[in-house]
Structure 1
Amino acid sequence: MNRLLSRIRRAAGATRRRLAPSPEVAAWRRACRLAERTPRYTHGEIELGPYTLQYSDLLTLCPQWDDIFVRRSLAFTTPAQAPRILDCGANLGLASLFFKRAYPAAKITAFEADPAIARMLAANLRRNGAADVEVVAAAAWIADGDVAFCGDGADSGAIADHARPASRPAERVPAIRLVDRLARERIYLLKLGIEGAEAAVLADCEPALGNVAAILLEVHEFDPDRRQAPAVLQLLERCGFAYAVTHVTPLPWLPEATGAAAHFPGRSSVWVEAVSAWRRSRS
């Protein structure tokens, strides 16, 4: 009987969500309908919930909104009223806006390597009440200076050495060595969405990760012969973090590795893992 009641409640809840969706879900649905008739890589502006956002590609903005504001994949709790946050791979600024909604006094630095996207990022933050977020138009990397970067006109630009197949030609963009930022102050949350460069950057940052309380990162697995997750997770353990792999998203539209389809047809060998890491309790 209890199981039956639970099923009925879940079904009733699902019906309510369909008939009376939250503002975030309603905004996502409207954006998806608009994206269906909007050509790819068309710049524009859209109202999503309380925000007015510039975008470079509406089709890739929609899943970002769903992930961050509907599914709340970046939600975290802290007693601090003004947590220090580094948003690496900030793209159009949705993550920083989400953090600001939860913690209005948060002190955030947002890094974005793609010059055109970085300009939209800064505009979106200014226009939506987050002008105090520091915007750094540079790649979070393992050295200061510049680095070859392959933009894609949307949300998947990457440092050339870590770019996925079929990326656009590279350009030189500014780069900052992230470990230097970590070494100079305590960071509550380090968010890393840097499209394949996360293993290299985390390895370089290892000496300073003691200054970081929590990490939200994406591990991009583009090559079955060079999986990054084992090294990343082992590094987190060495640095005193517990972790959870919270979601795995296959990327079947990307080119498969040679021979992968022959063994397991219909299964993607390319994916991205969402990982949450936090300081282990001291016993």
Structure 2
Amino acid sequence: MSILRGVVSSYSLFGLNGVALLAKARLLRRSTEVSVSVSGIKHPVYVRLRTSDVSLLSEMLQDVEYDLNFPVPPSVIVDAGANTGLTSIFYANKYPQARIFAIEPELSNYEMLLKNAAAYENITCIRAALWKSDTKVKIADPGLGNWGFQTAALIQTGSQVRSKEVEAITVNSMMDRFGIDHIDLFRVDIEGAEQEVFENASPWINSVRVIAIELHDWLKSGCSRSVYLATNDFHWEFRRGETVFLGKGERVINEFLPRVQSDSPTSTHRVRGQRPCTIL
């Protein structure tokens, strides 16, 4: 995050005190943890100044990038790549009866996830990486900030990239472990590992109703291909910003569309088998 963007974000979120704290954090060359109250969110949220947490707070809790109008409230939500838990917190407030499973592999983010989720009984935190098999993978830091940690097979990580090992699990194993028989909303932001996760999706993909995913072909070739092959039987899709939404049930898209139209003049949607159209 640039200095100017950080100052603007800190002022809009925290006021003059936030700007002062940001300046202090930059002077001391370290992140400073603060708590902030957000409209519509029941409990204070913890963020680290001078990190990507501030941008994520704006995206997840103010711009509500992952918000959807479900005709029937979801009962099971999986948040893969949960980072510090801001999306899970948003869902926990909007759908307090839902079981939410927040999956995050990187330790410093996971510790913040635990802190943010502590007040919500319906959020289960899981320290692991989603992958194509139950194994161990490397968590690599390519220098993109706290939201850019990547997972890779042990043999794929070069010595020039700082990395640590972490447990990796499949979606199917996670569902078995926690007694989940379906996923109403599967939110995925796993920095390129969607290629591996979705190339082995046949055991669980039929149990998923809606997917909200960021595709990272710019990080790893084949991500989109893997996801679209796995979701070939899904009925509709639309895009909001960097997020692609894929779902089942042609009736459901009619419930989503009014929200999409009001969100962005550049949102696109299509029922599978039709050409994409831009909503003006």
Q: TM-score, normalised by structure 1?
A: 0.70
Once the two structures are superposed, residues 180-215 of structure 1 have per-residue CA deviations (whole angstroms, 9 ceiling, x without a partner) of: 335751110001010111122112123421111101
Partner residue, 2:215: 219
Say which SS state the counterpart of residue 179 (structure 1) adopts.
Answer: helix
**Structure 2 residue 174 is the aligned partner of structure 1 residue 178:** no
Once the two structures are superposed, residues 156-177 of structure 1 have per-residue CA deviations (whole angstroms, 9 ceiling, x without a partner) of: 1110359999984111111111
**Structure 2 residue 107 is the aligned partner of structure 1 residue 107:** no
Distance 2:17 2:215 in 1: 27
Against the structure 1 CA distance between its residues 281 and 80, is the aligned structure 2 distance closer, same or farther, given a 3 Å change threshold? closer
- 1:130 Cα shift? 1.0
Partner residue, 1:16: none
Q: TM-score, normalised by structure 2?
A: 0.70
**Structure 2 residue 159 is the aligned partner of structure 1 residue 159:** no
**Structure 2 residue 190 is the aligned partner of structure 1 residue 194:** yes
Once the two structures are superposed, residues 89-108 of structure 1 have per-residue CA deviations (whole angstroms, 9 ceiling, x without a partner) of: 11111001100111111111
Structure 2 residues not aligned, in runs of 5+:
1-10, 252-280
Once the two structures are superposed, residues 217-276 of structure 1 have per-residue CA deviations (whole angstroms, 9 ceiling, x without a partner) of: 11113358x35324433432x1324212322xxxxxxxxxxxxxxxxxxxxxxxxx3111
Distance 2:146 2:160 in 1: 12
Partner residue, 2:261: none
- 1:57 Cα shift? 5.1
Quick check: 1:182–1:211 contact (8 Å CA) kept in 2? no
Residue number among 239, 246, 251 corresponding to 1:245 in the alignment: 239
Partner residue, 2:36: 47
Partner residue, 2:243: 274
Partner residue, 1:70: 62
Distance 2:140 2:239 in 1: 27
Structure 1 residues not aligned, in runs of 5+:
1-24, 248-272
Quick check: 1:186–1:211 contact (8 Å CA) kept in 2? yes
Quick check: 1:28–1:48 contact (8 Å CA) kept in 2? no
Quick check: 1:82–1:104 contact (8 Å CA) kept in 2? no
Distance 2:16 2:121 in 1: 27
1:202-213 aligned within 5 A: 202-213=198-209
Partner residue, 2:227: 232
Distance 2:52 2:25 in 1: 12
Distance 2:157 2:48 in 1: 20
Partner residue, 2:3: none
- Size of the aligned set, in residue pairs, is 230
Partner residue, 1:59: 51
Quick check: 1:157–1:195 contact (8 Å CA) kept in 2? yes
Residue number among 119, 130, 145 corresponding to 2:120 in the alignment: 130
- 1:59 Cα shift? 3.4
Partner residue, 2:275: none
Quick check: 2:212–2:246 contact (8 Å CA) kept in 1? yes
RMSD (Å), alpha carbons = 3.2
Against the structure 1 CA distance between its residues 52 and 112, is the aligned structure 2 distance closer, same or farther, given a 3 Å change threshold? same
Partner residue, 2:272: none
Partner residue, 1:89: 81
Distance 2:116 2:197 in 1: 27
Against the structure 1 CA distance between its residues 167 and 246, is the aligned structure 2 distance closer, same or farther, given a 3 Å change threshold? farther
Partner residue, 2:7: none
Against the structure 1 CA distance between its residues 46 and 144, is the aligned structure 2 distance closer, same or farther, given a 3 Å change threshold? same
Distance 1:164 1:195 in 2: 15
Quick check: 1:110–1:133 contact (8 Å CA) kept in 2? yes
Say which SS state the counterpart of residue 199 (structure 1) adopts.
Answer: helix
- 1:82 Cα shift? 5.2
Name the larger-Rg structure.
1
Against the structure 1 CA distance between its residues 103 and 165, is the aligned structure 2 distance closer, same or farther, given a 3 Å change threshold? farther
